[in-house]
Amino acid sequence: MQTGPHNGPDSPSLAKCRTGIRGLDEITEGGLPRGRPTLVCGAAGSGKTLLAMEFIVRGARELDEPGVFMAFEETEGELTANVHSLGFDLDGLVARNQVALDYVYIERSEIEETGDYGLDGLFIRLGGMIEQVGARRVALDGIEALFAALPSEGILRAELRRLFRWLKDQGVTAVITGEQGENTLTRHGLEEYVSDCVIFLDHRVNNQVATRRLRIVKYRGSRHGTNEYPALIDEFGLSVLPISSVSLDHRASRERVSTGIPRLDAMLSGQGYFKGSSVLISGTAGAGKSSLAAAFADSVCQRGGRCLYWSSEESSDQILRNMSSIGIDLGRHIQSGLLQCFAVRPTLYGLENHLVRLHKLVGEQRPEAVILDPITNFAAVGDAAEVKIMLTRVIDFLKKEGITAVFTSLTQGGGHGQLEQTDEGISTLTDTWLLVQMVQSGGERNRLLYVLKSRGMAHSNQVRELLLSDRGIDLADVYTGTGLLQTGSERLAQQSRDQSAALAERQASERRRRLLEKERRVLAARIQALQAQLAGVEEDAASAESEETQRLAATVQTEADMKLARYAD
């Protein structure tokens, strides 16, 4: 951002005139300087005339500020026809006396024949039009045509200053367009010095892809964004994306949204992604990236939420067909209006145009989730640094809007370290990173999934096998009992062997249990017999002891009786 010389803390704020052009008012922090001239310069086809026309039309139609548009290169009929496709009814605005439209034809040879050349006639003509509609806005399109016949730079400079001063004296907010010079912003190189605000439009071609950008070169008395901003011309006119306004001030939601796959939810502390977070799904070709993204889109729509699916590789119909093969019916969500598929080749536009178009689609649909599948293809229209900047802007924009974003990225096959990086370089910006890969063993190629990171939540460190079938998507535990990771038929065969071994162990254990039980019963029977034998012995011993006691008692009694008998004698 830049601060003008008269924008100190004690100075009054500069009056602004809203343009009505999407994004431009935000970049200029309220619009163009009211009552002052603004120069719009750029090469042919950069959008100068459209910006000037949109400034006049939107002012008259939306802001109740009549305007005058004076052209030096196109006739009234050509201008009316050119902007009709944008929904601008110039004829209607002229008929309602909201806009005055004029074409001034200047032929250099005629000027040379008649002699001196000045702007007095222009001032009279323009002043009459301003008075006719009560104009508060004026646009002069193609100013270099006015001064093409001036003989010297001194006269040119004087006439330019005179024109700009006259416009200020009229109290109108003026937009003046001029062609870009070879080494200067404008052909004469003077207009930018006498203008209070200068806007530069650039239309460049890189890798056979054309892109438009806008930059505020200067703005006297006001702060303004100084970066280059993506600009787009579509059926609604000119729009500018004010990237510098996107800052890290978004709120972080604690709410969770399901991934659409129960076992994947379980790996993410049982609840799925954070709402409004950014998710990166990277992996090799055919590993299941798009399938995971589609499962999330299906989950969002099933809950009644809106989802935008941006595809840069497959058509909408192809996506529907492919996902139906794994049990995901996205067609019903498109019919209900909850899912919008937007399929476009990245090479159709520049990166900035894609960015602006995404902003537009999000603004129209207001989705809860956005899927970009894949982001890798953007490398076809920009280098790695440009793609990273564009995707950073996308992530910041979606975070600020509270939209959950899922990006898929193709990684090249290779070692583990190569898989844990992306060509786009946005892995550090995303909140959750899932990695899917194909592994080959036992004559098969199978899919693996694991969570590389997931900020703000506990998450599993386990590797899961990703299974795709006509019943949907599932995750299975990989086999690591042998110390080697086994998937697919090897995992099933190993599980079968493990089950057989476990069954054999259970059977052997059962046999051992039965033998021990039999031996226990034999021993119990023997113990019972011995106990019975012991009881018999104890009974015989008790009987013998009783008999012996009785015998001894009888003997004692006999001896006593014998003693008595002897005493009797």
Catalytic entry in 73, 76, 159, 314: 73
> Residue 38 forms beta bridges with which residues?
175, 197
Output the six-digit token pair for 517. 């039980």
Distance CA 431, CA 405 (A): 10
Which is catalytic among the residues 313, 314, 386, 420? 313
The pLDDT profile of the chain, 569 residues, written as one tens digit per residue, is 343 334 443 335 788 999 988 888 888 888 999 999 999 988 888 889 999 999 999 999 999 999 999 998 888 888 898 888 888 889 999 999 999 999 887 665 544 444 455 677 888 889 999 999 999 999 999 887 777 655 566 667 777 788 888 989 999 999 999 887 665 555 555 555 667 888 999 887 766 667 788 888 888 888 777 778 878 887 778 888 765 445 567 788 899 999 999 999 999 998 999 999 999 999 988 889 999 999 999 999 999 999 999 998 899 999 999 999 999 999 999 999 999 999 988 877 777 778 878 888 998 899 999 999 989 888 777 778 878 888 888 898 899 899 999 999 988 655 555 555 555 567 888 999 999 988 877 677 888 999 999 999 999 988 888 999 988 999 988 765 555 555 556 666 666 777 787 888 888 888 888 888 888 889 988 898 888 888 888 888 888 888 888 888 888 888 888 878 776 55
**68 and 130 Cβ atoms separated by less than 8 Å:** yes
User: Is 313 a residue of the active site?
Assistant: yes
Structure tokens at 171: 């109290």
Q: Are 306 and 461 in contact (CB under 8 A)?
A: no
DSSP SS3 for 470 = coil
The pTM score is: 0.66
Name beta bridge partners: 139: 69, 175
| Burial grade of 222 (CB within 10 A; 0-12, 13-18, 19 or more) | buried
| Residue 545 annotated to the active site | no
Measured CA to CA, the distance from residue 231 to residue 355 in angstroms comes to: 10
Q: Residue 439: CB partners within 8 Å, gap ≥ 6?
A: 445, 446, 447, 448, 485, 487
Residues in Cβ contact with 459 at an 8 Å cutoff, skipping those fewer than 6 apart: 267, 268, 269, 451, 453
